[in-house]
Amino acid sequence: MQIPYSKNKRYLTGIDWIINMFDRMLKKSSGAGNAAQVMLELDGALDEAAFRADMTSFTEAFPVLRGSVRRDINLAPYWKIPKKPPPARLLTTLDDFSESVSNAIVLAKLTDHVNDPFPDDTLHMAFHIARHGRARTWLSMVFDHRLFDARGAEGFLALFESWRATRSIEPIKQDIETSEPAHLSNWIRKFKAGQTVNRALRDVAPSSHRLRDFAAVRDRRTRFRFIRFTEAETRAIETLAHEQAGFLMLSPFLLALCLQTLHAALARKSLDIPAYVVPVSMDMRRPGAWRAKTFFNHVSFMFLAAQARDMADRPALIQSLIGQIYEQTKARVQECYVEASMLMRILPLGILSRLARQPFKGEFGALSFSHLGETLLSGDTFMDRPLLNVCHAPRVPIPPGLGFFFNIGNGQLNVTLTYLPELLDDSDLDFIEHALRASIA
Amino acid sequence: MNTQDIETALIREVAVILGIGPETVDPTRPIQDMGVDSMSFVELLIFIEKTFQLKLIQSGLKKEDFHTLQALARRIAGELNDDA
């Protein structure tokens, strides 16, 4: 059934609905929703008044930014885009830190904002600026994951920067798709896709084990540990990945390193985890499609299993991960997940969250993982300041409350370890960072 | 199938994977410079398995065999000739 397109109604895909489910879960378990942040490190002091003025003007061009979720008469959920959006309201904060304050403290204060809920359900992003002396500024864009995924948030900032060069909004708006059909046809194909996904989940489900009892976790504000590798170290890691995992196999190599170091860190705490299930999120956009697909979610998931017995044998672990990636890609699991999740949209989010956890004994895997690759913000400057680095710091659902997120900004590999403080303490984090660095030395 | 036919098939597949026109795919250019990443590389390896019955994922994935479509076509032709 083809539903007429409406400028004010953007149907949510099944993946969008899954992201909405995570939003509900996080709000229920921690008070704030499924938010993430992309952080820009700029050389020198950012002119925050100019940034506020420019970003306010830019956001006014996109009423989709003030939308909210509704359910249609045909039961498909959609994003209601206001015909007359309320006056622009840009949420911003500014903190000045002296140069004597450590970078770790600046980043901890800056990134804690992601744990604060948005003031109402029509506000979906906020900007936090931390000036570190006169030498450095961090700009964090906190975004509602229901409206942007990580690549989309980078794309939004890249479009903002290109708009600043011309002040011409129409060519930018023309490139962006904000409509989506309801996808209320091809039911048999969707059911068959669901069978493929179920088979893949059944294969890894026996490896699902919880890292701890989350009911007892009191402090649910997400924390982050940032680990950065220099350009030279990044090249060394790529060479090592090529030698140990094969050509263009950086992602499985990085996942293997994360699993090994995490397993060793947990073993120090006498936690004997026999196996891990890792949901891996991946960008489903074709290269160059990021402009059209700036808003909403264009990702899918793959579920990989890793056994404790392989943790001491990196080649075996890497080959196991690559083999699973190959077989799941061959079975089109990622595409099937996108297709099959369309069927889930009929379910209220509370029921969906219980149903989605069933295959994994109530868990959502032991840790989240993604490698976003090279940032879209590859220009030399942002707001006329030299752009030094770009990294990401997303919240993750509880459980698992833990994730490793990689990206490359200006040739530097960044690792963001997202965690709950009752899951990993500073000594665990120091151990993981040291082990990660040692493993590529 | 000769090396040229294999190269043509690879060009067509990479164009499909990347969503670009086959005329823009340069077989002498490093494939990662064209936008091929881990996932799209795996898709290409699956195409090679389905089309040429060669499971190269188990071959050690040495850069010299894979860094351009021209090199990859030579590698596939070599494997097919060995099997013949």
Q: Are residues A143 and A203 in the same domain?
A: no
Q: Are residues A246 and A272 in the same domain?
A: yes
pTM for the full predicted model? 0.95
Task: Write down the pLDDT at residue A178.
Answer: 83
Task: Tell me, yes or no, whether A181 lies in a domain.
Answer: no
Reported as a single tens digit per residue, the pLDDT across A91-114 is 999 999 999 999 999 999 999 999
Cα A201 to its chain centre, rounded Å, is 21
Q: Does the pLDDT of residue A3 top 60, yes or no?
A: no
Q: Pairing between strand A368-374 and A402-409? A: parallel
Task: Tell me, yes or no, whether A263 lies in a domain.
Answer: yes
Q: Are residues A205 and A324 in the same domain?
A: yes
Q: Are residues A147 and A207 in the same domain?
A: no
Q: Are residues A76 and A110 in the same domain?
A: yes
Q: Does the pLDDT of residue A377 top 80, yes or no?
A: yes
Task: Tell me, yes or no, whether A343 lies in a domain.
Answer: yes
CB-based contact A247 B62, cutoff 8 Å: yes
End residue of a domain, out of A152, A175, A198: A175
Interface of B with A in 7-46 (CB under 8 A): 17-20, 31-32, 35-39, 41-43, 45-46
Task: Write down the pLDDT at residue A5.
Answer: 59
By Cβ distance, the residue of B17, B19, B61 closest to A246 is B61
CB-based contact B42 A325, cutoff 8 Å: yes
Task: Tell me, yes or no, whether A270 lies in a domain.
Answer: yes
Contacts 24+ apart (CB under 8 A), A425-433: A428/A265, A428/A268, A428/A269, A429/A225, A431/A261, A431/A264, A431/A265, A431/A268, A432/A225, A432/A261, A432/A262, A432/A265, A433/A225, A433/A227
* Distance in angstroms (rounded) separating the CA atoms of residues A190 and A337: 9
- Measure Cα distances from A30 to A24, A34, A68, A224 in Å: 10, 10, 21, 16
Task: Tell me, yes or no, whether A182 lies in a domain.
Answer: no
A247 near B CB under 8 A: yes
| Domain of residue A328, residue span | 187-388+395-439
Tell me how close the Cα of B41 comes to any Cα of chain A, in angstroms.
Answer: 7
Task: Write down the pLDDT at residue A154.
Answer: 97
Nearest to A113, CA basis, from A98, A128, A97: A128
Mutation target among B47, B51, B57 for the A interface, most CBs of A within 10 A: B57
CB-based contact A249 B39, cutoff 8 Å: no
Q: Are residues A106 and A252 in the same domain?
A: no
Tell me how close the Cα of A289 comes to any Cα of chain B, in angstroms.
Answer: 9
End residue of a domain, out of A112, A146, A175: A175
CB-based contact A322 B35, cutoff 8 Å: no
- pLDDT band (50, 70, 90) for residue B84: low
Task: Tell me, yes or no, whether A3 lies in a domain.
Answer: no
Task: Write down the pLDDT at residue A194.
Answer: 96
Reported as a single tens digit per residue, the pLDDT across A319-376 is 999 999 999 999 999 999 999 999 999 999 999 998 888 888 777 789 999 999 999 9
Q: Are residues A229 and A160 in the same domain?
A: no
- Measure Cα distances from A231 to A67, A234, A235, A410 in Å: 40, 5, 6, 8
Q: Are residues A119 and A195 in the same domain?
A: no
* Distance in angstroms (rounded) separating the CA atoms of residues A320 and A275: 13
Domains of chain B: 3-83 (1.10.1200.10)
Task: Write down the pLDDT at residue A220.
Answer: 92
Q: Are residues A104 and A202 in the same domain?
A: no
**Counted domains in chain A:** 2
Task: Tell me, yes or no, whether A16 lies in a domain.
Answer: yes
The stretch A262-270 carries a mean pLDDT of 96
Mutation target among B13, B32, B33, B42 for the A interface, most CBs of A within 10 A: B42
Q: Does the pLDDT of residue B41 top 90, yes or no?
A: yes
Q: What is the mean pLDDT of chain A?
A: 94
Q: What is the mean pLDDT of chain B?
A: 93
Reported as a single tens digit per residue, the pLDDT across B27-39 is 999 999 999 999 9
Q: What is the CATH number of the domain that holds A32?
A: 3.30.559.10
The stretch A282-295 carries a mean pLDDT of 92
- Both structure tokens of A388: 């030094």
By Cβ distance, the residue of B17, B31, B61 closest to A249 is B61
Tell me how close the Cα of A127 comes to any Cα of chain B, in angstroms.
Answer: 31
Looking at beta carbons, which residues of chain A come within 8 Å of B31?
Answer: 248
* Distance in angstroms (rounded) separating the CA atoms of residues A235 and A227: 16
Q: Are residues A359 and A332 in the same domain?
A: yes
Q: How many CB pairs under 8 A join A and B?
A: 56
Residues above pLDDT 70, as percent of chain B:
98
Residues above pLDDT 90, as percent of chain A:
86
A218 near B CB under 8 A: no
End residue of a domain, out of A124, A142, A175: A175
Reported as a single tens digit per residue, the pLDDT across A26-47 is 999 999 999 999 999 999 999 9
Determine the residue of chain A that is closest to B67 in CA distance: A247
Looking at beta carbons, which residues of chain B come within 8 Å of A326?
Answer: 42, 45-46, 57
Q: Does the pLDDT of residue A90 top 60, yes or no?
A: yes
Q: Does the pLDDT of residue A2 top 80, yes or no?
A: no
Reported as a single tens digit per residue, the pLDDT across B46-64 is 999 999 999 999 888 888 8
Q: What is the CATH number of the domain that holds A432?
A: 3.30.559.30
Interface of A with B in 305-324 (CB under 8 A): 322-323
Q: Are residues A82 and A164 in the same domain?
A: yes
By Cβ distance, the residue of B19, B20, B66 closest to A247 is B66
Contact A69, A345 (CB under 8 A): no
Contact A17, A341 (CB under 8 A): yes
Q: Does the pLDDT of residue B23 top 70, yes or no?
A: yes
CB-based contact B38 A251, cutoff 8 Å: yes
By Cβ distance, the residue of B18, B32, B43 closest to A329 is B43
Q: Are residues A168 and A192 in the same domain?
A: no
* Distance in angstroms (rounded) separating the CA atoms of residues A298 and A283: 6
Looking at beta carbons, which residues of chain A come within 8 Å of B32?
Answer: 248
Task: Write down the pLDDT at residue A440.
Answer: 79
Looking at beta carbons, which residues of chain A come within 8 Å of B46?
Answer: 326, 329-330
Task: Write down the pLDDT at residue A413.
Answer: 97
Task: Tell me, yes or no, whether A4 lies in a domain.
Answer: no
Q: Does the pLDDT of residue A213 top 90, yes or no?
A: no
* Distance in angstroms (rounded) separating the CA atoms of residues A85 and A243: 54
